[in-house]
Amino acid sequence: MLSDVQMQQTIERPAVCAGIGVHSGEKARLVLKPAPVGTGVVFRRTDVEASSTLIPAHAESVSDTRLGTTLTNEAGVSVAVVEHLMAALAGMGIDNLLIEIDGPEVPIMDGSSAVFCELLLQAGLKVQSAPRKRIRMLERIEIVDGPKRASLSPSPDTLLTLRARIEYDDDVIGVQQMAVRLAPGMFARDLAFARTYGFARDVDMLRAIGLARGGSLDNAVVLDNGAVMNPEGLRAEDEFVRHKMLDAVGDLMLAGAPIAGNYDAVQPGHALNNALVRKLLATPSVWCWESDAGTLRQPDLRASAAV
């Protein structure tokens, strides 16, 4: 049963992991650190010299959505493939966190959010002294891009409910659809394990444009001529749509606060999700700030990502 008052959360103590970037192929070390109330989620590049190495985890910082979500600050400092880590933070209820990274890309780990969820649990979740603020949907908004579409609409409770449908001309995937309610514990149980995926036929093309240089069967599900190349097979028959849901959870967290509403999507992707969140932020009449202390007046969401 949900608590009557949802409070902001960070972690009890720092946590560390390291790995390679799925696109850059470069090694990076992550240090997750507790952050004060109202900080939001902020990345800090520790390997570069610039006027600012802080990168707010916010939709307005998104600079690239090709096979991942990249954030870039005003000084041109960036961090790529943030969505799996952001999804874990959203799923575990983390509001405030400083993430130090010494490379250009968040490590892909096994291609899912499971390692990040385990890392957060090992660090311990710390309840903070201020109520959590939510974005309460008041009206429906939608983004349509050919056969792709995504919307946010009002819901009767304080949670985010997600529904997604994907369709591929591939025997392994075919048509998959799923609906989940982002209640406590659900993400870690039902979505976190789902890995990113791709097709063997695309590997040479992706590497030619600087992507997938760190990709392997250890960090992605790879399909070839209607078969799964990974020796261990799938973790679930619908692992593909589960991963799309995982990505959506991470991309929607870039709104700057949890969303109380319904997310519905057909053929979703990072570009579509970012366009939806940007439209949300640009249309203040369709949402309001809310906490368990009551409904609040419109804020500048970017302020929630400041340190």
Nearest CA to 82 among 12, 14, 28, 143? 28
Q: Say which amino acid occupies 16.
A: V
Active site residue 58: no
Cβ-contact 29, 45 below 8 angstroms: no
Q: Which SS3 state, helix, strand or coil, does residue 138 take?
A: coil
Find how far residue 21's CA is from the centre of its chain: 16
Catalytic residue among 23, 84, 243, 270: 270
Left (φ > 0), alpha (ψ -120 to 50) or beta: where does 158 sit?
alpha
* Long-range Cβ pairs for the range 296-300 (8 Å, 24+): 296/133, 299/133
Residues 6+ apart with CB under 8 A from 1: none
Contact 211, 270 (CB under 8 A): no
Residues labelled catalytic: 270
